[in-house]
Amino acid sequence: MGRYIKYEIKGSYKFILGVLALVLILTTVLYTYIAKKESSPVIALASMIIFGTALTTFLYIVGSFRKELYEDRGYLTFTLPLTGHEILGAKLITATIWFLLLGIVIIGYNTIMLANMAPIKPSLKEIIAQVFPHITKGTVMSFLLVLLGGISTLILIYLSMALGRVTFRNKKIGGLWFVIFLVLSMIVGIGQAKIVISMPYYVNLDTFKIVSYESIMKGMNYTSVSIFEINDAALLTGMGDQYILNIAGFIYMIGIMIINFLLTGYIIENKIDL
């Protein structure tokens, strides 16, 4: 599996480095332009670049797996002495590595560029001292949930592609996987919403005490910021400086991700006819 991860990295690093180089160039041009203006939407424009980078990388990773499933290039991959779960795991690990690398480099570069635009340019130590206090348990948990959500979505896409590949006796109907993905996403989302609503018990990430949603709402008057929310069913809710995580919803999310991973690996190993 380790060798296959190296193979995946070797096969995609040129594209990733190309995207990264382009983003850094665009970011430099953006800040150079902004420095000449009295007021410009820095955060909005930088966010658009980051979003575009993430979307481009995501589509590339998804497209690479689709080509292996629906084109002849997949013959080499699926005839390797690896299980379906090892192949899938290697692809997910590679995707995670690339997203983390892009995220760290882009966020770090934007932080440095913003610091350079300040009237009094702070040192790297001062930047870290200012940023570090804002990294709370809720911030870390939010990041982990976004990461897990991205991995879960990627697994669901892979599962949809695998199901589309084996449907109708392995006829290669390329667009079918997207329909399957929409249906599965709707089912998973509705299931999560129902579980969160029916079991409104949360763990406070600051005190690690289990509380009900009603007790939190009564004791706080902050505007909430919810992550993964469907019909007021929030998996993670941030209120002021406190964050609460729905226990049942989180377990459901992890369970669905594991089931989809196992099912996708099984289909890759046993059901795909090359």
254 within 8 A of 246, measured Cβ to Cβ: no
Q: How many residues does the chain have?
A: 274
**3-state class (DSSP) for residue 238:** strand
* pLDDT at residue 186 greater than cutoff 90: yes
Residue range 126-164, pLDDT digits in tens: 666 666 666 777 677 778 888 888 899 999 999 998 888
Helix, coil or strand: residue 226: strand
Percent of the chain past pLDDT 70, that is, above it, reads 74
Contact 195, 249 (CB under 8 A): yes
Task: Please state, as a whole number, how many other Cβ atoms lie within 10 Å of the Cβ of residue 188.
Answer: 18
Q: Is the pTM of this model over 0.75?
A: yes
Q: How far apart are CA 155 and CA 2, in angstroms?
A: 20
Sign of CA dihedral 15, 18, 22, 28: positive
Percentage above 90 pLDDT, the chain: 16
pLDDT for residue 194 is more than 50? yes
Q: CB neighbours of 145 closer than 8 A, spacing ≥ 6? A: 227, 228, 235, 236
Q: Which of the four pLDDT bands, split at 50, 70 and 90, describes residue 221? A: very low
Q: Does pLDDT of 222 surpass 70? A: no
Q: Taking residues 77-94, what's their average pLDDT?
A: 85
Q: What average pLDDT does range 99-120 have in this prediction?
A: 79
Q: Check residues 115 and 171 and name the one with the higher pLDDT.
A: 115
Average of per-residue pLDDT across 232-238:
67
Contact residues for 131 (Cβ-Cβ < 8 A; gap 6+): 111
Closest CA to 81 of 269, 274, 271, 244: 269
What CA–CA distances, in Å, run from 63 to 7, 28, 71, 105? 17, 29, 11, 24
Question: In the Cβ-directed half-sphere of 92, how many Cα atoms lie within 13 Å?
Answer: 25
Q: What is the pLDDT of residues 166-185, one digit of tens each?
A: 876 655 565 788 899 999 99
Provide the greatest CA pair distance for the chain: 66
Of 260, 75, 5, nearest to 149 by C-alpha is 260
Q: Would you say residue 223 has pLDDT above 50?
A: no
| Rounded Cα gap, residues 209 and 203, in angstroms | 5
| pLDDT at 82 > cutoff 50 | yes
Cα separation, 144 vs 164, whole angstroms: 30
> DSSP alpha helices (H): ranges in 71-123?
74-78, 84-117
| Residue range 240-260: mean pLDDT, rounded | 87
- Main-chain dihedrals φ then ψ at residue 266, nearest 5 degrees: -65, -45
pLDDT bucket at 230, cuts 50 / 70 / 90: very low
pLDDT digits (tens, 9 = 90+) for 35-58: 666 555 666 777 787 788 888 888
pLDDT of residue 67: 80
Please tell me the distance from the alpha carbon of residue 204 to that of residue 212, in angstroms, as a whole number. Answer: 10
Q: Flag whether pLDDT at 232 surpasses 90.
A: no
- How far apart CA 257 and CA 244 sit, in angstroms, is 21
| Element housing 154 (H / E) | helix 137-170
Q: Which residue has the higher pLDDT, 172 or 15?
A: 15
Residues forming a β-bridge with 238: 225, 243
